[in-house]
């Protein structure tokens, strides 16, 4: 699960793919099943380079790859299916122009360069400033915002790339905020995937039985996954420290 601007009834089947690109751009693909009674925003803090603006994140439309993670799972036949459900305003600065809203497949998305820029979003798509104040590690982050409609839905994969602050690390945005509060521990039900040269990943994650190209299509995934490399998978379930997961790239 991730950070939401309002209460949600349930989130399940969270899957995240990450890799570091050759030019230092980290690719993130995020998918989940969601039930909410009102429109909400999913907000992902990202450790982006300091020199940034609202154009720094590239959103990638994966509407044509709705079953991307189901296909990737075929490369890990020993993994059993998972299950389970987990049950603002900022200061008095002068108003700035509204942030650009982009259409990315079935939803709208924006990039918030800094915490102070949240006041350029509609109020319903913000998280209270007091929440971010309790998470000092994100004071220098940017924030990717996906606006999701009310209802019960399986969200098609949401993808984006950004210039990473540290090219030696792959950061999975797994910190949880789902009730307007930050808890020290959170319930995880995540399937994480990555492509990495790291020996730590290769030793401790499960390796796909074949190259990614045997399971996903390069055209529909729009280059987000390297089809000529293996994919690695790690499943995290149960109660864990509420933080992002970081692995070597």
Provide the pLDDT confidence category of residue 19 given band limits of 50, 70 and 90: very high
Sign of the CA dihedral running 115, 187, 248, 191: negative
pLDDT of residue 134: 85
pLDDT at 240 over 70: yes
**Cα 228 to Cα 110: distance, rounded to the nearest angstrom:** 31
CB atoms within 10 A of CB 23: 9
| Tokens of residue 16, six digits | 């995240």
The per-residue pLDDT for range 57-66, each reduced to its tens digit, is 999 999 999 9
CA-based nearest residue to 135, from 184, 193, 94, 187: 184
Query: 182 to each of 170, 195, 236, 241, how far by Cα in Å?
Result: 23, 30, 19, 11
The per-residue pLDDT for range 138-170, each reduced to its tens digit, is 999 999 999 988 889 888 899 999 999 999 999
DSSP for 142-209, written as a single string = EEEEEEE-SEEEEEEEEEEEEEBS-TTEEEE----BSSSS--SEEEEEEEEEEE---HHHHHHSEEPS
- Domains and their CATH numbers in the chain: 3-87+92-248 (2.60.250)
The per-residue pLDDT for range 70-129, each reduced to its tens digit, is 999 999 986 544 444 333 322 333 445 666 665 455 678 999 999 999 888 888 888 877
Whole-prediction pTM: 0.86
């Amino acid at each position: 699960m991730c950070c939401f601007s309002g209460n949600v009834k349930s989130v399940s089947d969270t899957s995240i793919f990450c890799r570091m690109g050759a030019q230092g751009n980290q690719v993130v693909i995020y998918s989940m099943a969601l039930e909410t009674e009102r429109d909400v925003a999913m907000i992902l803090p990202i450790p982006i380079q300091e020199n940034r603006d609202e154009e720094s994140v590239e959103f990638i439309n994966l509407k044509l790859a709705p079953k991307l993670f189901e296909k990737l799972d075929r490369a890990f036949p020993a993994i059993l299916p998972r299950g389970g459900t987990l049950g603002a305003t900022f200061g008095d600065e002068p108003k700035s122009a509204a942030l650009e809203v982009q259409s990315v497949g079935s939803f709208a998305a924006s990039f918030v360069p800094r915490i102070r820029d949240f006041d350029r979003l509609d109020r319903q798509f913000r998280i209270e400033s007091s929440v971010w104040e309790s998470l000092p590690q994100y004071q220098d982050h940017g924030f990717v915002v996906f606006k999701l409609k009310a209802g019960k839905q399986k969200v098609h994969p949401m993808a984006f790339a950004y210039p990473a602050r540290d090219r030696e690390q792959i950061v999975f945005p797994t910190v949880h905020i789902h009730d307007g509060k930050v808890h020290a521990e959170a319930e995880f039900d995540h399937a994480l995937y990555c492509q990495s040269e790291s020996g730590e990943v290769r030793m401790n994650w499960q390796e796909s039985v074949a190259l990614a190209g045997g399971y996903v299509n390069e055209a529909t995934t729009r280059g987000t996954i390297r089809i000529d490399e293996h994919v690695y998978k790690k499943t995290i379930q149960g109660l864990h420290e509420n933080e992002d997961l970081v692995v070597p790239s």
